[in-house]
Amino acid sequence: MIRWYANGMKRFLLAIILTTTPFTWLAAHPHGWIDFRVNVLIDNDGQLTGLEQRWQMDPFYSLALLEELALLGADERTEAFAMMADEIQHNLTAEQYNTDAWIGEQALSFGPVEVYELREENQHVVFAFTLPISEPVSMAGQVLKYQIFEPTYFLEMLHEAKRQEPIAEALTVQGPISCETRIIPANPDPKLVMEAAQLGIDEEGEHGLGRYFADTGEVRCQ
């Protein structure tokens, strides 16, 4: 999903796919995935202040990276996680953290991410961060919608699910006002599905293709 994916993660995934995947699967796309959770932050004044996100990398990438890190000592391992987290944070800035959000017709802009961490959880690599809203906006009587996607669709990003249903923790709200949530699955045009399926192992789609395969999170507040 990003320049980090385009450089580091994409090359890493490509190497894994080429050495572990049957040849007949190589036309499949995307080449990896991220399961994410979003916690919508609303302050005591009822204003939307940020989107707290947790991105869980797919098990194949996680396993390969954790096996490499296991060769390091404890201090080196901690340092490696911190350095990778800094690189991810830096490179995601150019793509607004792969996040589009809007209230009504108003697109939201984001401030710099200062709280972030890369860590291991249950044998998965997880990147967690808080994406601040640059100008907090009242959520009273409003509907927030957002999409999180890797623009080229090299990696698929979806709300964390179990048995193809989003888990309760996939979209939550933290704040003093009453809000309802729902996750709307993507319904891409079959032509776009075919376009994505035809991309080769070393190819990525046009910038923006990932949008059409993205869930839409919705938060409706009273």
- Token look-up 């997880």 returns 126
Helix (H, G, I), strand (E, B) or coil at 170: helix
Q: In the prediction, which pLDDT does 51 show?
A: 98
Query: How much is the pLDDT for 128?
Result: 97
CB 43 within 8 Å of CB 135 = no
* AA letter at 178: S
CB atoms within 10 A of CB 34: 26
The number of domains in the chain is: 1
Q: How far apart are the first and last CA of the chain?
A: 34
**Structural domain harbouring 131:** 3-221
Average pLDDT for runs of 10 along the chain of length 222: 41 42 42 93 98 95 88 89 91 92 95 95 94 97 97 90 94 97 92 74 71 96 95
